[in-house]
Amino acid sequence: MSRAFLVVMDSVGIGGAPDADRFFNGTVPDTGANTLAHIAQACAEGRAEDGRSGPLCLPNLDALGLGAAVRLASGDPTPGLDATPSGMWGSARESSPGKDTPSGHWELAGLPVPWDWHYFPNTEPAFPEIVTQAAAQAAGTAGILGNCHASGTEILARLGAEHLRTGWPICYTSADSVFQIAAHEEAFGLERLLDMCRSLAPTLHAMKVGRVIARPFVGSPETGFTRTTNRRDFAIAPPAPVLTNWVQEAGGTVHAVGKIGDIFSMSGIDDVVKGSDAELMKHLAQLVDTAEGGSLTFANFVEFDSLYGHRRDICGYARALEWFDREIGAIVQSLKPGDMMVLTADHGNDPSWTGTDHTREQVPVLVAGLGAGEVGQVAFADVAASIADHLGIPARGPGRSFL
Ligand SMILES: O=P(O)(O)O[C@H]1O[C@H](CO)[C@@H](O)[C@H]1O
Ligand SMILES: [Mn+2]
Ligand SMILES: [Mn+2]
């Protein structure tokens, strides 16, 4: 019986989004952003030599068609990625009016976002009075800190000590439809932070703010502050059935790896494993070994995005890609007859770009397990339709199978 594995490399975009001019980092449009090509070019030019060296080395992803996908999407050169593909490969365009994680994942799962998200476009103060009051009330404090656009690590360096002094939560946003709350795991309390997010989420979801995100951290002014892996996203539930629901309705099991459970508000998901990307890779290998016939395993590897893309760390991003390539190479080898593994992404986050926000890009669609062939230029929702096709279950929505 067939099995499917959908693996999202968070933010590994390949440029060429036709509507990139409508998305911004600050006042600069995303036109020309290309996460993968710009990393490959920096590596080839010797600009990414910390803990790695030379041209970007991704033999396994490139053999599936990664370099070919970048060139198809954008026409940009991809030094180091010049293999003749032996997998099925193509590039996908997003239609949802958002370049964030829920938009990308919902659409990959067959459901383009049917509304405009609510954003907080003002940089400071970012939030209307009604939101800041609701946040302070949910925290049980007289006020909040932040109330601005920020990078999550920069704002801890700036406001971490004041947070410890006042006990007030640090609330910030970005170019995405998010309300993020940073608080010290011990001084403020992890459970208290999660409760605060949980109680605030319905108000913000009603405004069409996509996510309330808990950003717990540890440390002190002396040692500096570090975020922990206890991040938790409270996202709006998808408004219609998606791939996870289709699989369950057909009697299949759905395994989530990483933040997939949060992104889909647990809709259509049987079980979740979480942890660092290194831990998630072990879980994925295990699921390739043990997942049931008819099942879907849906994984997200977030560290490309959270540790390197938003931090504009080209070399760190290259190291993470090279690690991922080594690990996934062995996993692809262990696929069984009847398995389909799709490797793709949810948006871009070009570490060579201005700002600290995501970049609107096309994404790679690399299919292992079904032989070689060019999928060509497809839509995000076609990924869900193709997986449904492979599993022999009905699909809904606008996607078309490329199998
Ligand atoms: O800078 P940090 O806190 O990592 O925030 C990033 O993470 C958010 C959610 O993925 C994005 O909207 C972006 O702002
Ligand atoms: Mn993402
Ligand atoms: Mn992100």
The rounded Å distance from CA 178 to ligand 3 centre is: 10
Paired tokens of 120: 């907080």
Q: Are 69 and 91 in contact (CB under 8 A)?
A: yes
Once rounded to an integer, what is the mean pLDDT over residues 191-217? 98
pLDDT in tens, 44-100: 999 999 999 999 999 999 999 999 999 999 999 999 999 999 999 999 999 999 999
For atom 12 of ligand 1, the residue with the nearest CA is: 176
Once rounded to an integer, what is the mean pLDDT over residues 250-257? 98
Q: What is the DSSP letter of 118?
A: P
Q: Are 25 and 357 in contact (CB under 8 A)?
A: yes
The H or E element containing residue 202 is helix 190-206
Q: What is the DSSP string of 24-68?
A: EETTEE-TT--HHHHHHHHHHTT---SSS-SS---HHHHHHTHHH
> What is the model's pLDDT at position 379?
98
For atom 10 of ligand 1, the residue with the nearest CA is: 101
Look up the ipTM and state it: 0.96
pTM given for the model: 0.95
One-letter identity of residue 251: G
Residues with CB under 6 A from ligand 1: 101, 151-152, 174, 176, 178, 180, 213, 215, 306, 310
Give just the sign of the alpha carbon dihedral 208, 300, 216, 158: negative
Quick check: helix, strand or coil at residue 131?
Answer: helix
The rounded Å distance from CA 101 to ligand 2 centre is: 4
> What is the model's pLDDT at position 123?
84
Quick check: helix, strand or coil at residue 154?
Answer: helix
Residue linked to tokens 């000590």: 161
d(CA 15, CA 37): 8
Paired tokens of 89: 């490969």
One-letter identity of residue 276: S
pLDDT in tens, 116-166: 999 999 888 999 999 999 999 999 999 999 999 999 999 999 999 999 999
Q: Residues for the chain: how many in total?
A: 403
For atom 13 of ligand 1, the residue with the nearest CA is: 174
Question: CB neighbours of 245 closer than 8 A, spacing ≥ 6?
Answer: 267, 268
- CB burial class (10 A; 0-12, 13-18, 19+) of residue 52? middle
Q: Which atom of ligand 1 is nearest to the CA of 211?
A: 9
> What percentage of the chain carries pLDDT values higher than 70?
100
Binding positions for Mn(2+): 10, 305, 310, 346-347, 358
Task: Output Rg (C-alpha) for the chain, integer angstroms.
Answer: 20
> What is the model's pLDDT at position 53?
98
The rounded Å distance from CA 119 to ligand 1 centre is: 13
- At residue 234, does pLDDT exceed 90? yes
pLDDT in tens, 339-391: 999 999 999 999 999 999 999 999 999 999 999 999 999 999 999 999 999 99
- Would residue 199 be called left, alpha or beta, if left means φ above 0 and alpha means ψ between -120 and 50 degrees? alpha
Q: Are 304 and 321 in contact (CB under 8 A)?
A: yes
d(CA 184, CA 302): 22
Q: Are 297 and 287 in contact (CB under 8 A)?
A: yes
pLDDT category at 402 given cuts 50, 70, 90 is very high
- More confident of the two residues 122 and 315: 315
> What value, to the nearest 5°, has the Cα angle with vertex 187 and ends 182 and 192?
65
Nearest by Cα to 69 from 377, 334, 339, 292: 377
For atom 2 of ligand 1, the residue with the nearest CA is: 152
Give just the sign of the alpha carbon dihedral 378, 383, 384, 387: positive
d(CA 77, CA 70): 8
What number of other Cβ atoms are within 10 A of residue 189's Cβ?
14
> How would you write 57-106 as a 3-class SS string?
CCHHHHHHCHHHHHHHHHCCCCCCCCCCCCCEEEEEECCCCCCCHHHHHH
Ligand that lies nearest to the alpha carbon of residue 180, given by its number in the listed order: 1
Q: Are 214 and 181 in contact (CB under 8 A)?
A: yes
> What percentage of the chain carries pLDDT values higher than 90?
99
